[in-house]
Structure 1
Amino acid sequence: MFKFTDLNGYGVTLSFKKEAFEIEPTHILILAKKQNQWLLTNHPKRGLEFPGGKVEVGETLTEAVIREAYEETGATLTNIEWFASYYVQCEEPFVKAVYTAEVQLLDEDFKRYETLGAVLCPTEDLMNEEHLSFYMKDAGMKKMLEKESERV
């Protein structure tokens, strides 16, 4: 397990083993690629970040991944796989499940609600992108990207 403090000052424990935490994940994060480029969503306040969000009542984690990816980017995903989970020790602790996937299709005309749509970013430019959300800059994100690159 990898422990770090996030940029909000909360303790976080990251694990690459399934069911490493006693509480069920209530949030998801999606590390998806399209032709060797990362799928990011352009959040109007935070900037560029991986898509993700809360799991709705009655929804499986995979269903949440599919829904959030489309809602935030217009992406249809394939090869969705569990990758990691992390436990955030805040006022109301929660676990976020991290999934990897491939982008099958990007719908340019999807109805945008919370974001400004999809941005594709090559791996070599990802951490140097000037408009990255603060969520993308913590030690946990760097560890996940490092671990993901070892899988390829």
Structure 2
Amino acid sequence: MLVFNDVHGGRVELTFGANQNGMSARHVLVVLKHNGKWLLTQHLMRGVEFPGGKAESGETIEEAVVRETIEETGVTITDLVNFAEYIVRSNSTFCKAVFTGKVVEIDENPVLHETGGAIWMTSEELAQCEELSFLMKDTGMEALRGWVEAHEL
């Protein structure tokens, strides 16, 4: 387990594997590399980040992963792998399931929600990006990218 504080002072516990902590995840994060580039999106308020969000009522966590990725990037993914979980302990503690998968379709003209669409970056471009969301600057992001690179689908 990797433990650190986020930029807001919340205690974050990152574990690798699904359902490692007994807390049900209702938030999702997609860390995906395709053809040598990371799938990111431009959140309209926070900046460049991996796609993700919250599961809607009646929706499975896997359905939320697919929906959020399409809504934020226009990219459809399959072969989902839930490889990690974040627990953020703060005033409103929550669990975020982290997924990767395979790209099966890229809509070049998607209807987007809350984002400017897909951004594809190499690792070098990501490391030099000055518009990163605060979410991309925490200690766990490097570990998550490392896992995806070591286990590319």
TM-score, reference length from structure 2 = 0.93
Instruction: Provide the rounded CA distance (Å) in 2 between the counterparts of 1:40 and 1:62.
Output: 19
Instruction: Provide the rounded CA distance (Å) in 1 between the counterparts of 2:144 and 2:42.
Output: 20
Instruction: Provide the rounded CA distance (Å) in 2 between the counterparts of 1:151 and 1:34.
Output: 12
When structure 1 is superposed on structure 2, of 108-117 and 46-55 the one drifting more is 108-117
Q: Percent identity?
A: 43
Could you say which residue in structure 1 is the equivalent of 2:91?
Answer: 91
Q: Deviations over 1:86-111 (max 9, x none)?
A: 10001111100000112222112111
Q: Deviations over 1:39-92 (max 9, x none)?
A: 101111211100000011111111000000000000011221111001000111
Could you say which residue in structure 2 is the equivalent of 1:34?
Answer: 34
Residues matched between the structures, number:
152
Instruction: Provide the rounded CA distance (Å) in 1 between the counterparts of 2:149 and 2:113.
Output: 31
- Aligned-residue offset at 1:134: 1.1
Is 1:149 matched up with 2:153? no
Show the 5 A alignment for 1:7-86.
7-86=7-86
Instruction: Provide the rounded CA distance (Å) in 1 between the counterparts of 2:95 and 2:33.
Output: 23
When structure 1 is superposed on structure 2, of 88-97 and 15-24 the one drifting more is 15-24
Contact 1:48 1:131 in 2 (8 A): yes
Q: Deviations over 1:92-142 (max 9, x none)?
A: 111000001122221121112211111000123212211111110110112
Instruction: Provide the rounded CA distance (Å) in 2 between the counterparts of 1:149 and 1:35.
Output: 12
- Aligned-residue offset at 1:24: 0.2
Contact 2:78 2:101 in 1 (8 A): yes
Instruction: Provide the rounded CA distance (Å) in 1 between the counterparts of 2:131 and 2:33.
Output: 19
Runs of 4+ in structure 1 displaced over 2 angstroms?
146-152
- Aligned-residue offset at 1:34: 2.3
Unaligned runs of 5+ in 2: none
- Aligned-residue offset at 1:23: 1.7
Contact 2:31 2:144 in 1 (8 A): no
Please, what is the CA RMSD of the aligned residues? 1.2
- Seen in structure 2, the aligned counterparts of structure 1 residues 146 and 32 have a Cα distance that, compared at 3 Å, is closer
Aligned with 1:71: secondary structure? helix
